[in-house]
Amino acid sequence: MTKLSIKEAAEIVHGKLFLPDAFSALKIKHIVTDSRTFFGDDDNLFFALKGPRNNGHEYITELQNRGIKAFVVSESEVVSGKAAFILVKDTTKALQKLAAHNRAGFHYPVVGITGSNGKTIVKEWLYELLSEEFRIVHSPKSYNSQVGVPLSVLLMENNYTLGIFEAGISQPGEMDKLAPVISPEVGILTNIGDAHQENFQSKQQKTAEKLKLFRNSKKLIFCSDDENTAGLVREFCIQYNIDPVSWSMKNRDAFACFSKTAENGTTRLKASVNGESAEFDVPFTDDSSIENVCHCFAAVWTLSKHPEKILPRFSQLAPVAMRLEIKRGINNCLLINDYYNSDLASLSIALSVLHHQAQKSHLKKVVVLSDIRQTGLPSGELYRQVNQLLEQWKVSQLIGVGKEISAHPELFSAEKKFFLSTKAFEKSFMRNDFKNSAVLIKGARTFTFEKISDLLQKKAHQTVLEINLNALINNLNVFRSRLNPATKITAMVKAFSYGSGDVEIAKLLQFQNVDYLAVAVADEGVDLRQAGVQTPVVVMNPEKHSFQNMIDFRLEPNIYSKDLMKAFEKAVAENALTAFPVHIKLDTGMNRLGFKTAEEVEEVVAFLQKTDRLKVASTFSHLAACDDPQMDAFTQQQFSRFEMLSRIITEGFPYKIIRHILNSAGIERFPEKQFEMARLGIGLYGISLTNLPLQTISTFKSIISQVKKLKPGETVGYNCRGKITSDAEIAIVPVGYADGMDRKLGNGNGEAFVKGKRVPVIGNICMDMLMLDVTGLEVQPGNEVEFFGQNISILEVAEKVGTIPYEILTGISQRVKRIYIHE
């Protein structure tokens, strides 16, 4: 972003400026929208954005204390003489105005990309293909929202020669706000699918809304094979005098006409453009990847002066790593893998993640960084800026890999080591050099930093449970949307967060401002505290021998009996504490733990009124059958009983006491009974009763170790249960019942997803491996295998085993490596 005075910024966003004399010389260079991602520097302008549940105005005092001196706000009450303030009606619109102003200051070409699918992939592939001809500024990761787009466009500076930005919308009217921010000269409309369709009357309406991005474009790239979409695009181009750049697999009248031949995981594409022919290979065979490649080809032919020179680069395209991977490393290290993406903007984002992963966990912050290329900056200035970022986020050690970064050791103030290549790093690697550290591994794709990750990861077992943290955030927000803004949320992270990993999930939920976390036993809570989790933690099954740990680590017990209550009150008294928070469990029909009668509850109240050692934080109950419509009468009885019993407690004390009874299914079916809090369990992990737009967060997968060809009459596995009746190919996969694959899934009952197809398990499942019938798929060792996730539902797996998703998730062995992916 071009540096501005605070007065200029106020004029651009049409805001009223409150400027104490002490801040009159302020210059603005960087924009902050999330208090959690700010760490140092004095040329920042904070936009206090307001959403359904979060309000940036609440963090202004904290940010003032941390050094921010300038704010854009929409609430006049926060304006003070302690900083510079720009008062506007809508801070999001103000951010968009500032970005549009920044965009108008540059005259190099800008590409705008929108669609339902493929936006980020097309953007990243174009960056790879065109980076030798242009110096490119592009959207970090998938920054394509009402806030992400302006933040991306604000990265535009004079040293670039091409901009590539993506825009996503979820409802009508949103693109009208983004179009002037990007103002693309060249547009790309990718696949129009079903994403966010619930907010549009029809696919045609959604297409028309997305096309608004291109009203001032000169050229528009699109696929003409969908006649309905293509017709809308052509009408749009005529209306706004735009040159249509169509491509097709079947229409010979398109700008670019393609034919394809797939073999051994590679596709050869033949293109005809204006009478000229071109042939090139791509390392993909699936339809969506080929579609994205064709968009890129049309864009290359539109933008490049020498497109034929770029053709060989198509064969080097790789799947886009759009998300960070977070996994356990050696010697109590935490690895954050963000390789295949290296620029200043994405480095800043990754450093924010590094900081929050290391925060309060007593972990040293280490960055492994490759050369950063194609920025247009002189190398000295580039690495001075890198060092500034490292200093801001208090990185302890830098490990630089590459000739350019190694040539500038004097520019870095942290502890540092340099290697000319990844191979040189591998040769000098010593395990004991990495201890108690959060390690960010970030580099350009050519540096193959996955080799460094392999050296540092704790477990080499190729069977993994991949946890999509973005999907978990989506699911949290879906349930939040069904609750009142004031309703608190308790997130269940017991049983290793339903098999997903307790610390990582808890830290993410803390970052998302969940009000409480709930664990089963005190030991789980202690682990969270030792990992730096500060959110209040409820222990659902407290045991007397764990009372001291609970007190020492500020863990709040579920009190379900008079004996437990008296024993815990005594332990608190022995520690000379008062008002220690407790949660009173009421039994309204589950007939498990809890106080069942009014008389019992009155005794509890009487006891607590006589002591100042304990304070009731909440009272709650558990629904027994709210997921079953046939049991709704029983559920309503539970609600009535809970209201009666909880009233005895809430009326017995002068302070406010939280009530909660809804679990995930309850939030879906009975949101009117949310009281002051609700508990999120299995819904957080992607399981819905009523087809809420939840996302799968867990993918259980492995790789093929070996492939064998078998003849009729041969058998597979223990007890010769797998019978071969015709020529067959069998894949051996290193996952078994010791990893969590139930033996009931053997002998054709269970399936796996390999190379775009479902294949059956053949024979008995062994302790450490199983076999798949992959006849005709031409699989190879190293091919990925999914057992549940995006392609096979965990609900389907549970039904085949005769159980519930909880058991499947919690049954995944601890020896299975958890990998966390996060945008």
Select which of 29, 250, 718, 757 is catalytic: 718
Q: Which residues contact 507 (CB under 8 A, 6 or more apart)?
A: 356, 357, 531, 532, 533
| Residues 594/585, Cβ–Cβ less than 8 Å | yes
Query: Using CA of residue 127, residue 128, residue 129, residue 134, what is the dihedral sign?
Result: positive
What string of H, E and C letters represents the secondary structure of 119-131? HHHHHHHHHHHHC
Q: Which residues pair with 163 in a beta bridge?
A: 110, 137
Residue 690 CB: number of other CB atoms within 10 A?
A: 8
Query: Using CA of residue 139, residue 145, residue 148, residue 153, what is the dihedral sign?
Result: positive
Q: Which residues contact 688 (CB under 8 A, 6 or more apart)?
A: 668, 694
Q: Is 767 annotated as a binding residue?
A: yes
What string of H, E and C letters represents the secondary structure of 435-497? CCEEEEEECCHHHCCHHHHHHHECCCCCCEEEEEHHHHHHHHHHHHHCCCCCCEEEEECHHHH
The torsion angle over the Cα atoms of residues 330, 336, 342 and 348, rounded to 10 degrees, is -130
3-state secondary structure of 20: coil
Closest to 555 measured CA to CA, from 587, 588, 519: 519
Where are the alpha helices (H) located in 119-213, listed in sequence order?
119-130, 148-153, 174-182, 203-211
The packing angle between helices 344-358 and 502-511, to 10°, is: 110
DSSP per-residue letters across 599-625: HHHHHHHHHHHT-SSEEEEEEE---SS
| 560 backbone dihedrals φ, ψ, rounded to 5° | -120, -5
Residue 596 CA to residue 62 CA, distance in Å, equals 45
Q: Is 494 a catalytic residue?
A: yes
Q: Is 592 annotated as a binding residue?
A: yes
Token digits for 321? 């790593």
| 99 backbone dihedrals φ, ψ, rounded to 5° | -65, -40
Binding residues for substrate: 592, 767
Binding residues: 592, 767
Q: Which residues are catalytic?
A: 494, 718
